[in-house]
Amino acid sequence: MTAHEKPGRKPRRVILDTGPAAAAEGGSTGILVRRFLEYVRHERALSVNTQQAYQRDLRDFSAWLAAGNPTTLSVRDLGDYLAALSKRGLARASVARQAATLRTFFAFLQLEGVVRESPAELLTAGRRADVIPGTLSPEQVDRLLESPETGSPSGRRDKALLELLYATGCRASEVSTLRLTDVHLGESFCTCRGKGDKERVVPLGRRAIVALRAWIKDTRPAFAAHAGSNPSWVILSSRGNRLSRMRIWEIVRRHADKAGVPPDIGPHTLRHSFATHLVAGGVDLRHVQEMLGHASIATTQRYTHVDATRLRSIHEKFHPRR
């Protein structure tokens, strides 16, 4: 009986592979996790962010399992683990992600012959709540984007960063890794690399182009000189290094406070505002999906919304019984 089982329970067990591969592993959770992480890194070539998410999730799972053996778990056992995460206060979306990690992990064990059937195959964590993320009004976005003092080098950098975030709807990680060769100001577009290293082309508006041109031409060379080399990233720190996601988040928060907009916003707020304002302006949802880099239109539908005021005005204008 494993440490997490309840007395009297007889959960369905996975069938163990008794061959040499399973024996060599000795049922060690740590070894199995390391093999899985090597697999997603080298064979599936998943993004660094995805690899890190898998590593965090499986670290939590290993801590919960303690000295237990993952190859002896049932779907009920895994359900208990997800329930424990929920009771600990983990958000529903995070629990759903943990469930997805377990499905992928046990599918790998099945592929490797460590188990013959996966207990996580039928694992569910309930539907994700369709929580609408915070968004800024166009007026609030204007105040935020006008916040940087463009008379200073760092202000011109921050201006270019904020304009880029809102103009493209890119994630902070995508802006952080954007290279000079990805930006085509003359043609008014840039190439972004999203999850799974998938590329997409996103148009650039006039204001973003002006801010980026001022940064790249007049200010960025002085920042790059501090690196002692020729950094390829578009947005640089004062030392000429690539700007981290955390630093981007800090810059957005600092200017939000200065502009008098909600203080709890971040780069993702600008991404959501970008999508919301496009949809409100009449852009087809499929086009928004392409610009956001969503694999499924359902994700875009959850990600965007139309405010109640606009719905009310449409109803009053077109409903025959208004």
In the beta sheet, which residues pair with residue 236?
A: 242
Q: What is the pLDDT of residue 4?
A: 42
Burial of 292 from C-beta contacts in 10 A (0-12 / 13-18 / 19+): buried
Please pick, among 13, 41, 195, 213, the residue that the annotation labels catalytic: 195
CA distance 245 to 129: 26
What pLDDT is recorded for position 145?
Answer: 96
DSSP 3-state helix, strand, coil percentages of the chain (rounded to 5)? 55, 5, 35
3-state secondary structure of 315: helix
Task: Specify the pLDDT at position 124.
Answer: 67
Q: What is the largest CA-CA distance in the chain?
A: 74
Concerning whether 195 is annotated as a catalytic residue, the answer is: yes
Catalytic residue selected from 159, 242, 271, 272:
271
pLDDT at 26: 37
Query: Is 171 among the catalytic positions?
Result: yes
Q: Domain spanning 138-315: which superfamily?
A: Intergrase catalytic core (1.10.443.10)
The pLDDT of residue 55:
94
For residue 294, CA distances in Å to 39, 68, 191 come to 25, 38, 15
Helix (H, G, I), strand (E, B) or coil at 281: coil
**What are the tens digits of pLDDT across the range 260-289?**
998 788 899 999 899 888 888 888 888 888
Q: Are 172 and 245 within 8 A, CB to CB?
A: yes
Which among 156, 277, 303, 305 is annotated as catalytic? 303
Given this structure, which CATH class describes domain 20-111?
A: mainly alpha
Told to judge if 294 belongs to the known catalytic residues of this protein, a careful annotator would answer: yes
Instruction: Please list the residues that pair with 183 across neighbouring strands.
Output: 190
Let me know if 271 is a catalytic residue. Answer: yes
The whole-angstrom distance between residue 86's C-alpha and the CA centroid of its chain comes to 21
Q: What does the domain layout of the chain look like in residue ranges?
A: 20-111, 138-315
- Please tell me which residue in 97, 157, 277, 294 is annotated as part of the active site: 294
The low-confidence residues of the chain, meaning pLDDT below 50, are 1-27, 127, 129-130, 308
Q: Residue 314: its pLDDT value, please?
A: 58
